[in-house]
Amino acid sequence: MAGESLIPVLEKRKLNMAVTTPVDGKLFTLEQELAFEHERNPWEAQAARFDLAARKLNLDEGIWKVLRYPTREIIVHIPVQMDNGSIEVFTGYRVQHSQARGPAKGGIRYSPDVSLDEVRALASWMTWKCAVVNIPFGGAKGGVICDPRNMSQGELERMTRRYTAELIEFIGPEKDVPAPDMNTNEQTMAWIMDTYSMHMRQTSTAVVTGKPVNIGGSRGRKEATGRGISVCCDEALKHLGLTVEGCRVIIQGFGNVGSNAAKILYHKGYTIIGIAEFDGALVNLDGIDIPGLIEHRAKAGTINGFAKAEACDRAELLTRECEILIPAATENVITSRNAADLRCRILCEGANGPTTTLADDMLEAKGIFVIPDILANAGGVTASYFEWVQDRMGYFWTELEVNQRLDAIMCDSFKDVVSYGDTHKVNNRIAAYMLAIDRVAYTTKQRGMYA
């Protein structure tokens, strides 16, 4: 080895060093950690599934290139005067993946973990999600890198309005219609709607969805994602010949999506045996009193300390035996490190991207029936479509009408995906991608290439 560089040797030694991962306390080499980091990249996961579905569709190579990448990626830097008089500059994104089938549609999230790859992936998923439920939208997503927990209401408002002003030429009822997402809500949408309206010199309620009902929001919108999840669970039980009675459910995440799914499933007769949150987890094998837990969380600000359930380990709860597991919080919850340990019969993905691509094969090998995110959580964007329609015609439906229309679309979409999978001999996730890509590709070809 005389004269040979020591760098490759040192690098090799570094890769074989054990490091501790804070996720589960196990030891992994640096090489394993790097591979795991790659596994959890949401854009890579979306692209891998898109490529597999496109290949099975024998998609035209040119259309493949058009649909694989976003149409537009916008990066803005947002100066905001903070309450103490200092000025902070926040980075914001808006990615428009497709507008082939209609205006782009997608939420805006505020989080320290927002990245361009994440927003790209979420925008793409929105395109496929809208196509799966066959509503006339394309996909978009937005985000601002910030920690809203450490910001006042005034700071959040100033940041939101400046972010909106920076995007003013790219959004609009016929261009791109934002909605709430992680750490944003109907108040955020009201600020966006007002800022846009001030620039347009007219009230434009249809520029966003997820608004308060009194300024053009739709009844049933807040519960819609959870309701859609419940419909998918109902349909999955029918498909598999199971019944609601004795059906045990574990839900990871108790925010808007998870808590509403839990509440609706509870009232339908499902037995919710476990709830996991970022700061703790609860279990009761006889069933958790969900209305009681919601009331407790509203008072205490946490699910912890609820008297009618026992505290348990969050990671361990996901691997408990149950009929339905619903990850309803963030991406990358089911990975190659825990997929083999799952003991559910049905995995219903309430969150966007909760399962990695490496975990997909493991779940299929175990025979777990997966209801993919682009179907399972599409109730939210479906109700957003209803809100957009109502705003544009100036006539609003009752909550019963909203729910009936939502239930019908979710039932039909579930059957479409399962049927597509049976026809093409693929699992539900790839079937959902194939169905969505097929619909968007058909429209893209019909419209032709503008030159």
Partners of residue 87 on adjacent β-strands: 81
141 in active site:
yes
Task: Please give the Cα distance from 108 to 128 (Å, whole number).
Answer: 18
Tell me the two tokens of residue 172: 């609009």
Residue 306 backbone phi and psi in degrees, to 5 = -70, 125
Q: Which of 166, 213, 150, 206 is nearest to 187 (CA)?
A: 213
DSSP character string of 112-124: TT--HHHHHHHHH
**Residue 387: which region, alpha, beta or left (left: phi > 0; alpha: psi -120 to 50)?**
alpha
* Cα distance between residue 371 and residue 345, in whole Å: 11
User: In DSSP terms, which residues pair with 188 in a beta bridge?
Assistant: none
Note the residue count of the chain. 451
Query: Rounded to 5 degrees, what are φ and ψ at 284?
Result: -155, 110
Bridge partners for 207 per DSSP: none
Residue 82 φ/ψ, nearest 5 degrees: -85, 170
Among the options 141, 211, 222, 263, which is catalytic?
Answer: 141
172's torsion region: left (phi>0), alpha (psi -120 to 50) or beta? left
Distance of alpha carbon 247 from alpha carbon 237, whole angstroms: 9
Query: Long-range CB contacts (< 8 A, 24+ apart) of 58-67?
Result: 59/437, 59/441, 60/441, 60/445, 63/441, 63/444, 63/445, 66/444, 67/98, 67/127, 67/437, 67/440, 67/441, 67/444
Nearest to 129 by CA among 385, 361, 389, 443: 385
CB distance 187 to 223 below 8 Å: no
State both tokens at 21. 């991962």
b/e per residue 265-277 (b: at least 16 CB within 10 A): bbeeebbbbbbbb
Catalytic machinery residues: 141
